Structure 1
Amino acid sequence: MSTPSTDQLRFNMIEQQIRPWDVLDPRVLELLATIRREEFVPPAHRALAFVDMETPLRGHPEEAVRLGQIMLAPKVEARLVQEVSPRPHEKVLEVGAGSGHMAALLAGLAQRVITLEIEPELARMARDNLQRAGVRNAEVREADGARGLAAEGPFDVIVLSGSVAEVPSELLQQLKVGGRLAAIVGAEPMMRGTLITRTGEGSFTTAQRWDTVAPRLLHFPAPSRFQF
């Protein structure tokens, strides 16, 4: 029995994981077919490139998950990109560069992407991966992204590539009117894929249309202790 080719594995990922998760935007599907996800995965874990799971980026897998040093599952990345749907003239901020794969997807739709990564080794990995993939409109900065990047804002799109207990208002203020922020919000065992749209100077709308679980991004505020 022959081993499936990389192209067949990529096709299967799109058809069996991503389309069933209601990722149907043809622009996003085309990106997933052309950007070589396996080249953003560390060599030790390349066999996991198309598997429906988070891919550890360094060290022991459990430790990588605990520290949020992972690539999100393919269907989660794809759904987040579809949610914010960057346009060719728009500027994007990503928090949590990881391997650079999400930045590559966003850069395929947007004018410019700035992606922030707190871990120096991962920042280098993302920078190298993006350069090797020929992505010229995504810039990796080694920085703590929990407070965003107000000096470069406002942004049309902000994507948090990991989970947070709640989205800080400081980040929401860095959205343009009409801008969108996508994040995975909540606590285990159930988190929600969340899209927040800035509709005015002080007004926002929130949609939560799907459930998932993802490792935490570092240094974001803990949830409020009291719930009313």
Structure 2
Amino acid sequence: MTDTFKHRGLRQKLVETVKAKGIQSEPVLKALGKIPRHLFMDSGFLDHAYQDKAFPIAADQTISQPYTVAFQTELLEIKKGDKVLEIGTGSGYQTAVLCELGARVYSIERQQELFKKTSKFLPKLGYRAKKLIFGDGYKGLPEEAPFDSIIVTAGAPFVPKALLKQLKIGGRIVIPVGDDVQTMTLIIRKGQKEFEKHDYGEFRFVPLLEDKN
């Protein structure tokens, strides 16, 4: 669990790369510069930890590309104390970014193996989500709703209605929608039944899984 001077230098280079690609939010860039991404990856991939690429992790999942993490997070416009629902805890890297921004994070993971691993690992790094849940992301977390924002970190064939219901009025959901290639989609809840939708280009994610374990 070491974070060396070299790692910190590589992180700053990564921040510059992500900034050059258009990420402007200082809090988001600062979070990327602080979080030791190499600790979220298997030791065999340590050399790749600060490249702007996605990499395989356990259970056939991936740790998202840092630019993608920054892009989604920037769209959420998180303020300190916001209540955020994350669908797809994965390695916990995105969770750590949300915690670093001062969000109260509720995160759901569908893969038992990842859920167990990340639940133990995040607190060791000092990142404490309000709740890490093993469950079905399509259903969200109705008992904790409403949320200021919701982030989905896997490709969904459609926007689950349950998630829209759990969003506060004025709240934002960022979700990649599509089958093979996804369109990054931002939905802002304007009223009880009124939603505003914005599309932000193509990304590739692992698929969002329904109950299968």
1:140 Cα offset (Å): 1.4
Asked whether 1:52 is paired with 2:43, we answer: no
Of the three residues 71, 79, 87, the one matched with 1:87 is 79
1:24 corresponds to 2:24: yes
Matched, 1:143 2:135: yes
Deviates more, 1:210-219 or 1:196-205: 210-219
What is the one-letter code of the residue matched to 1:168?
A: P
Query: Which amino acid counterpart does residue 193 of structure 1 have in structure 2?
Result: M
Cα pair 1:103 1:138 within 8 Å, conserved: no
1:74 aligns with 2:66: yes
Are 2:99 and 2:105, in contact at CA under 8 Å, matched by a contact in 1?
A: yes
Name which of structure 1's ranges 201-210 and 135-144 shifts more when overlaid on structure 2. Answer: 135-144
Q: Secondary structure at the match of 1:88?
A: coil
Partner in structure 2 of residue 194 of structure 1: 185
For residues 111 and 6 of structure 1, the distance between their equivalents in structure 2, rounded to whole angstroms, comes to 25
CA distance in 1, matches of 2:173, 2:26: 21
Instruction: Give, in whole Å, the separation in 2 of the partners of 1:141 and 1:103.
Output: 13
How far apart are 1:191 and its partner, in Å?
Answer: 2.2
Give per-residue Cα distances to partners, 1:101-139, cap 9 Å, x unaligned. Answer: 111111122441011111121112212221111012443
Structure 2 unaligned residues grouped into runs of 5+: none
Q: CA deviation at 1:21?
A: 2.7
Match of 2:107, as an amino acid?
Answer: T
With normalisation by structure 1, the TM-score equals 0.85
Q: 1:158 to 1:169 in 2, by over 3 A?
A: same
Percent identity, please: 30
Q: What's 1:128 paired with?
A: 120
How is 1:1-228 mapped onto 2 (pairs within 5 angstroms)? 5-16=6-17, 18-58=18-58, 64=60, 69-188=61-180, 190-219=181-210
Q: Structure 1 residue 30: deviation in Å?
A: 0.6
CA distance in 1, matches of 2:15, 2:39: 17
> Residue type of the partner of 2:25?
D
Q: How many angstroms apart in 2 are the aligned matches of 1:120 and 1:11?
A: 33
Matches of 2:129 and 2:89 in 1, distance apart? 14
Please give the alpha-carbon distance, in whole angstroms, between the structure 2 residues aligned to 1:169 and 1:20.
36
**1:125 aligned counterpart, secondary structure:** helix
- Please say if residues 21 and 79 of structure 1, whose CA atoms lie closer than 8 Å, have aligned partners that are also in contact: no
CA RMSD in angstroms comes to: 1.8
Distance 2:131 2:50 in 1: 25
Residues 164 and 186, structure 1, Cα contact 8 Å, conserved in 2: yes
1:218 deviates by: 0.7
Q: Quote the Cα distance in structure 2 between the aligned partners of 1:73 and 1:146.
A: 23
Whether the aligned pair in 1 keeps the contact of 2:172 and 2:187 (CA below 8 Å) is: yes
For 2:150 and 2:37, locate their aligned partners in 1 and report how far apart those are by CA, in whole Å: 21
Could you tell me which runs of 5 or more consecutive residues in structure 1 were left unpaired when the two chains were aligned.
221-228
- More deviation in 36-45 or 21-30? 36-45
Is the partner of 2:94 in helix, strand or coil? helix
The secondary structure found in structure 2 opposite 1:128 is helix
Distance 1:173 1:118 in 2: 20
- Cα shift at 1:98: 0.5
